Structure formats: C-alpha cells, structure tokens
C-alpha cells in the first residue's frame, strides 16, 4: 500500500475519532447541580481536541490527495516474522501471564521466542540442538532472574 | 559562585560506595542498551523506571540519568562499527565514524567519540546550572494562562520538529496524546470522562504502560519486522583508543560550539538528541576548513556529531526540571519517573527543592566520568555485545516490558494498555507518525486541560487574558509563527516578499 492511500484511510479514521470526541465532550455532564462555572465544564477540552483532530484529518486528506508522499507502507519487512513476534508476545502478555505462575509463563514464552527465531533452517542437527539448548538456558535464566528480581528485591507480588 | 559551591557539595555527597556502585552499573547498562540497534535511550529509561520503584528517590534519579547519558553515548558504538546507529541520535556519527572504521581506525574513532561526548555533556551541564535556576524563577510568575500556552507550545513544537514528512502528522500524534490524557477522572471536578463503562479506566490511562508500549513493545515489533533477527557481523577493528591531545585541541572550537548548539536544541521541547547531532554536524561542516572530508572519515565531523547529541541530554533537562516540559522523548519519560519518585518538576522546584538542579548536575558529572572510563577501556567488550542476536535479546526486552508495567500498580489491565499502545505505536511509526509528541501529549494533557478551564473561570469566560498578558502573548506569537511557517502558501508568499525586497534594495 502507498503512503497516500494509508494517509487517506487514516484521515477517515481520525476524522471519525475527532467527531466522536467532540460529540462526547458536548454531551458530557455540565455539572449544573454543582453550580460550576460554564467555562470549566469537563467536556470543554475534549470538544476542542475533537475539533482540532477533524481539522488535522482534513489537512492530512488534502496532503494525501496531492500525493506528496508515495513511499510504500509496511513493505520493507517480513510479515511472517511480525506475525510470529506479535503472536507469541500477545499469547504471553494477554493469556499466559495471570493464568500460569509468572515463572512458568515467562519460561515458556522466552523459550518459544528464542527457539522460533533462533532456529537454523539450513543448519545441521548439531546446530539445531545448540539452538534449542541455548533457548532453554536463556528461558531459565530470564524466568528465574526476573522472578527473583521483582519478587525478592522489588517486593512485587507477581501475577 | 553559590551554584558552583552547591554543585561541589552535591558531587561530594554522591561519592559514597553505594552511589558509585549504582552509577557504575547503570551507565554501563545504558551504554549496552544504546549500542544495541533496536533499543533506544527512551526505551532504556522507560524500562529502568519500572526497575527503580524500590530505590530511594536520589538513587533512582541517579540510575535513570546514568542510563540516559550512557544510552545516548552507547549508540556511537554500533554507528562506528556497523554503520547502524544504536539510537537515532547516532545517525550523524555513522557518517564519519563508519568510514574511519573501514580505514582501520575504529578504536581511535570510538576514543574521539568518547572525548566528544564527554565535552558535550560537560558543556551542557555548565549551561544547565546557569540557565535552569533563572528560568525556574521566571516561571514562578506563570499563571493558568501562561501554563496553558506552555502546554500548547510543547505539543506544537514537538509535533512540528519530530515529524518525518509533514508537520500535520506530528500535530496529530500530539492531539492523540492529549486525547489519551482526557480519559479518566479530570483534575478539577473529578468527573469521570470517556471510561466506556470500564471501571479500570476511571483512573485514566497510565503514562508508564503507554510509554513502555509505544517505545518498548513497538520497538520489539519494529526490530523483528525490519531485520533478519541476527545482527552481529561486527569485527574487532580496534586500534589506538586514547585520542591525541593535539586532535582534541585542534577541534576545541567545534566541540564548544557543538556543545552549545546541542544544549540549545535540547531546551526546545520534543526535538531530541538526533536533531542536536545533525544541527551540530551541519554547523561544523559549514564553518570547517576541511569540509570536503566530511562523510569520508572526518575527525571533526565525528566530534561535532557526538558532542552535539550528548549535549542535548543536560539541555533537555532544563525545561524538564524547571517547567515540567520535556526537551526530548527520553526526558519526557524522566519527568514521569520524577513524579513516581515524589519529585515535582516545574517552577516550584526552586522553592520545594532548591538544591535539585545542582544535584542533577552532579549526577550528570558522575555519569560522564563513568562514560569516559568505559568508553576508553571496554571498547573490545562492546564489540562482543553487538553480537547478541535479536532472537535472544527481544524476548527478554518484552518480558521486562510486561513485568515492569505490571509492577507499578500490579494490575493486569496495565499490561493490556501496554500491548495496545505497542501495536498502535508500531502501526503509527510505520506510517511516519512520531512518538515523542504522543507521549508529550499524555504528559501535558492534564496541565493543558486544567490551565484552560481555571484560566477561563478566573476571567469569567473572557478569552482576552490568554492573549494580552505579556508571556502569554509571546507564546501565542511563537506558536502562530511556527505553525504559519509550515503552511505552504504562507512560506511561498514570505519568500516572494523577501525576493521582491531584495530586488528593490539591489
């Protein structure tokens, strides 16, 4: 996708967000029962910000229509690596942490991440064993290290 | 004289085994983080903030400052050895540093970069001690009207100067940050705004989870997206490391000028170390007698770039401490850390903690000394650090993002916020939206909101004082000029007028 197209899409999203913010600010409680000054209503700044965002969205759309920046977006990297990274990180942060004890969730995540990305595709059996052992050692060190650091030194109750 | 005496006494008070130990490890860790491409100084300071909760405030601030100084300096290692700047601040360093490494003078280039960084930081410290106290005293006269414009100025300038392509994207990032700051209980009537029915949002979106996500998780995604996962190809090309005194003396004017430029760039909110390095580099090339050597391995160019980016560190602390308006993304994180450790940066700092500026300057001197020591002694060890593959580095970074975010208030919700900001931050960065204004917006949102509404209440709804009070009027003028100067037809019209005047004069 070209930047011009991405900017147009973004302008639409931001325009809607700005509009929602402005409407949200306008409909917000005016706190009349507390007899506060009308100039200090909680919705004032959100309304202004919403308006400003709509203006910026229009400016972005205009610039995109002129085709000022035709660079490709999300084109110079690997979708596979990004997907694997996001997937492993999200599974760890949103599912494993809080479900399993922190030590185990961290150990599993670090091992999986290091093994997946350190896997020697064209390597021999020895290189693969080395990669897996390396991932396991890193996982154990990270899991124990962070657990001890946060629970014993910083006195944090781990998830 | 008082300032020097105060600085001396603060420096002496830091010379305890505990403080020296903390300064030693945090500066070293900062250099390691800075030297690893994919990890930035901002991310280092953000992650370290979560690791300093249990330390007392003085030690915690020392650790964070040492991390900041070390990380900005550390970027020069990979810039010189690999032609990959460890942090964006070192991009200018690679222009001359890498050609020097290719010529077999990597060690000498690193030594010269170390000397330049030390000079830059020291020049910045001198200016910090000179400028910060009077600025804080002047800011004591600020009222709601001035604070409102100060917040607007911070976001506008930051958005304008950090945007890659168009300033509109910088403004959008700033407004997004301000919008994030609107979520949760507002500061005047404690009315809950935009919580969407989630009670977790009643307290607002935490600055630390948002920052760790935008700078930590987003950088993990960015690093894994963009590179093959194995970085290290660095060869040990070290030669003589200690710079010759003759070389240092020859570039004394360049060093001092770059130090001053870097510090002044640092004072401007949101500009950052990379602009400091480029501004110093360009100024040095313009006045250089050996301009043709720039980009091909010029000692002068390398010195200018490194002095410039290191001087931004103390420079960015000037508005951060005195006005609570950060000069760079890293100092934005530092402000959050100061609040967490019970220090309120802002005009009242000179009343509440008059020795704080001297204390910060003393900490920076300690960090500079360790930076110089490591820079001249551990060159070969840093080459080994650059061989750590991303497959082993990034999961550890992400674990620190998760547990560091969780540790502050021990809420799983904060981890979700971190992840959300990481994903959005990655997408925004790919679309060339700068992250610094977003963070500044989150920090300054509360100040802007409260100042505008308080000001309007004081003036009974009258907008006039926002434009007629002298400092407010100056801010309005600055903001208007900086926005208008970025509008195409205004710029064209001004250049037409100037051209017409020049023709008439001729």
Which tens digits make up the pLDDT trace of B127-178? 998 888 888 888 778 888 988 988 888 788 777 766 667 788 989 999 999 9
Interface test with A, best of B165, B167, B175, B450 (most A CBs within 10 A): B175
CB pairs under 8 A, 24+ apart, for B486-491? B486/B160, B486/B167
Identify whether the C-beta of residue B189 lies closer than 8 Å to the C-beta of residue A40. yes
User: Looking at the predicted structure, is the pLDDT value of residue A26 above 60?
Assistant: yes
Cβ–Cβ gap B189/A36 under 8 Å? yes
CB atoms within 10 A of CB A101: 15
Cβ–Cβ gap B430/A63 under 8 Å? no
Higher pLDDT, A14 or B376: A14
Mean pLDDT on B324-352: 82
What tens digit of pLDDT does each residue of B471-483 get?
899 889 988 887 8
CA distances from B29 to B55, B79, B132 (A): 17, 18, 28
Name the DSSP letter for residue B201. Answer: G
Q: What band does B233 get if pLDDT is binned at 50, 70 and 90?
A: very low
Tokens of residue B380, six digits? 């070969």
Cβ–Cβ gap B406/A81 under 8 Å? no
Higher pLDDT, B127 or A72: B127
Cβ–Cβ gap A146/B400 under 8 Å? yes
Q: What is the largest CA-CA distance in chain A?
A: 77
Cβ–Cβ gap A77/B226 under 8 Å? yes
Lowest pLDDT segment from A151-155, B374-378, B394-398 = A151-155
pTM of the model: 0.81
Cβ–Cβ gap A156/B407 under 8 Å? yes
What tens digit of pLDDT does each residue of B441-475 get?
888 888 899 999 999 999 988 889 999 998 899 88
Mean pLDDT on A92-117: 94
A110 contact partners, CB below 8 Å, separation of at least 6: A135, A138, A139, A142, A143, B395, B396, B399
Nearest to A73 among B390, B430, B449 (CB): B430
Cβ–Cβ gap A44/B220 under 8 Å? no
What angle is formed at CA B436 by the lines to CA B430 and CA B438, rounded to 5 degrees?
A: 85
Nearest residue of B to residue A120, measured between CA atoms:
B230
User: Looking at the predicted structure, is the pLDDT value of residue B440 above 50?
Assistant: yes
Tokens of residue B414, six digits? 């904060």
Cβ–Cβ gap B191/A29 under 8 Å? yes
Nearest residue of B to residue A72, measured between CA atoms:
B431
Cβ–Cβ gap B431/A7 under 8 Å? yes
pLDDT at B236: 47
Mean pLDDT, chain B, integer? 84
Lowest pLDDT segment from A34-48, B228-242, B414-428 = B228-242
Residues of B in contact with A28 (CB under 8 A): 191, 193
Q: Report the candidate in B467, B164, B435, B437 with the shortest Cα–Cα distance to residue B325.
A: B437
ipTM above 0.85, yes or no: yes
Nearest residue of B to residue A44, measured between CA atoms:
B453
User: Looking at the predicted structure, is the pLDDT value of residue B6 above 90?
Assistant: no
Helix (H) / strand (E) containing B192:
strand B192-193
Nearest residue of B to residue A99, measured between CA atoms:
B412
Decide: helix, strand or coil at residue B195. coil
pLDDT at B506: 63
Mean pLDDT on B253-260: 91
Residue with tokens 């931050």: B425
What tens digit of pLDDT does each residue of B413-428 get?
999 999 999 999 999 9
Distance from CA of A10 to the nearest CA of B (A): 9
Q: What does the buried/exposed string (b/e) look like for A115-150 if buried means 16 or more CB atoms within 10 Å of the residue's CB?
A: bbbbeeeeeeeeeeeebeebbeebbeebbeebbeeb
Nearest to B54 among A24, A31, A154 (CB): A154
Q: Report the candidate in A139, A53, A59 with the shortest Cα–Cα distance to residue A96.
A: A139
pLDDT at B235: 52
């Amino acid at each position: 996708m070209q930047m011009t197209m991405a900017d147009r899409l973004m302008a639409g999203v931001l325009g809607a967000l700005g509009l929602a913010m402005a409407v949200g600010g306008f409909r917000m409680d005016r706190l009349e029962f507390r007899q506060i000054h009308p100039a200090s209503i909680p919705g004032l700044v959100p309304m202004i910000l919403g308006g400003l965002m709509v203006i910026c969205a229009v400016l972005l759309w205009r610039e995109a229509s002129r085709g000022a920046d035709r660079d490709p977006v999300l084109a110079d990297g690997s979708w596979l690596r990004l997907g694997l990274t996001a997937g492993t990180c999200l599974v760890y942060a949103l599912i494993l942490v809080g479900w399993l004890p922190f030590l185990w969730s961290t150990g599993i995540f670090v091992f999986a991440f290091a093994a997946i990305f350190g896997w020697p595709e064209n390597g021999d059996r020895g290189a693969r064993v080395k990669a897996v052992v390396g991932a396991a050692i890193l996982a154990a060190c990270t899991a124990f290290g962070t657990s001890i650091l946060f629970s014993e030194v910083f006195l944090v109750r781990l998830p | 004289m008082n300032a020097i005496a105060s600085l001396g006494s603060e420096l002496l008070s830091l010379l305890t085994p505990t403080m020296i130990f903390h300064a030693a490890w945090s500066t070293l860790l900062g250099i390691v983080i800075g030297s690893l491409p994919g990890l930035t100084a901002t991310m280092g300071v953000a992650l370290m903030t979560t690791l300093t909760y249990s330390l007392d405030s003085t030690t915690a601030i020392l650790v964070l400052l040492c991390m900041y100084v070390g990380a900005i300096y550390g970027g020069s290692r990979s810039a010189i050895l690999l032609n990959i700047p460890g942090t964006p601040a070192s991009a200018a360093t690679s222009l001359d540093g890498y050609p020097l490494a290719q010529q077999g003078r990597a060690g000498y280039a690193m030594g010269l970069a170390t000397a330049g960084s030390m000079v830059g930081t020291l020049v910045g410290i001198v200016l910090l001690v000179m400028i910060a106290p009077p600025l804080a005293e002047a800011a004591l006269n600020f009222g709601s009207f001035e604070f409102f414009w100060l917040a607007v100025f911070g976001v506008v300038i930051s958005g304008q100067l950090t945007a890659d392509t168009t300033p509109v994207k910088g403004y959008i990032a700033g407004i997004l940050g301000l919008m994030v700051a609107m979520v949760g209980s507002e500061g005047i009537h404690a009315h809950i705004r935009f919580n969407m029915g989630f009670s977790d949002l009643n307290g607002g979106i935490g600055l630390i989870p948002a920052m760790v996500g935008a700078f930590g998780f987003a950088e993990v995604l960015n690093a894994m997206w963009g590179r093959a996962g194995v970085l290290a190809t660095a060869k040990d090309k070290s030669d003589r490391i200690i710079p010759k005194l003759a070389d240092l003396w020859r570039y004394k004017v360049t060093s001092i000028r770059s130090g001053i430029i870097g510090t002044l760039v640092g004072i401007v909110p949101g500009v950052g170390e990379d602009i400091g390095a480029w501004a110093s580099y360009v100024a040095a090339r313009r006045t250089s007698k050996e301009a043709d050597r720039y980009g091909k391995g010029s000692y002068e160019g390398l010195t200018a770039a490194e002095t410039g980016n290191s001087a931004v560190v103390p420079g960015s602390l000037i508005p951060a401490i005195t006005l609570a308006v950060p000069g760079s993304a890293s100092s934005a994180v530092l402000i959050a850390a100061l609040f967490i450790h019970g220090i309120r940066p802002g005009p009242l700092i000179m009343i509440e903690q008059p020795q704080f500026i001297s204390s910060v300057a003393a900490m920076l001197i300690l960090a500079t000394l360790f930076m110089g020591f490591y820079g001249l002694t551990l060159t070969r060890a840093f080459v080994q650090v650059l061989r750590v593959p991303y497959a082993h580095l990034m999961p550890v970074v992400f674990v620190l993002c998760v547990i560091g975010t969780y540790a502050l208030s021990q809420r799983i919700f904060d981890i979700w916020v971190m992840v959300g900001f990481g994903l959005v931050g990655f997408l925004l960065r790919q679309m060339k939206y700068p992250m610094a204004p977003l963070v500044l917006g989150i920090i300054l949102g509360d100040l802007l909101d409260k100042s505008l509404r308080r000001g309007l209440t004081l003036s009974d709804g009258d907008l006039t004082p926002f434009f007629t009070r002298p400092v407010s009027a100056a801010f309005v003028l600055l903001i208007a000029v900086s926005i208008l100067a970025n509008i195409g037809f205004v710029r064209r019209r001004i250049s037409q007028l100037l051209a017409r005047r020049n023709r008439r004069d001729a």
